Amino acid sequence: MTLNTWLASISDWYQMGRTGSITTLESRLYSAPDSVWGPHLTENQSKAIACWLDGCLRVFEYEKYQDPNKAYQTLQYIAAKLEMTAFSPTTDIEIKDWGLKRLQHITVLRLEFCNQQQDQSIWDKEAHTLIDMHVKLMASISWNEAYNEVSQNNSIRH
């Protein structure tokens, strides 16, 4: 499936409004072509990745109280796709930056989700694992390291 075909398909779901089923949305989300995540930033790619993320979050919100395990797996799926984007050597820097910023938000959402679950013996361990993995991931890519050095140098001068 091409990016434009997929984008038309997901746009059709949005136009259905509240009558569009979550099952149909999921099917469209899971059939998204790789070009949704890059490698080149175009207007359609940008729209597609935003629609994909919004759609996934809609699935999460729908399942959060009906099937918490499925809801959490949806968050894990989002994070995996965003991590894949961040580590792709051919993806435009703007897409990587967008993806990493969203990954940080999804990580917070996953932690909040863990904190709200009933069986804290299981979910507390999951939350600690998430924190450890996220810290290691961000350290491994040294994101914004050059920016931070510039900011520190500028703050010293002022």
Distances (CA, A) of 29 to 97, 118, 150: 22, 29, 39
What DSSP assignment string belongs to 31-85? T--GGGG-SS--HHHHHHHHHHHHHHHHHHHHHTTT-HHHHHHHHHHHHHHHHHH
Residue-wise pLDDT tens digits, 84-103: 998 899 999 999 999 999 99
Model confidence at 26, pLDDT cuts 50, 70, 90, reads very high
Which of 20, 22, 136, 5 minimizes the C-alpha distance to 71?
Answer: 22
Higher pLDDT, 91 or 153: 91
Task: Tell me what pLDDT residue 31 has.
Answer: 96
**For residue 149, pLDDT beyond 80:** no
Give CA–CA dist 108/114, Å, rounded: 10
CA dist., res. 54 & res. 124, Å (int): 27
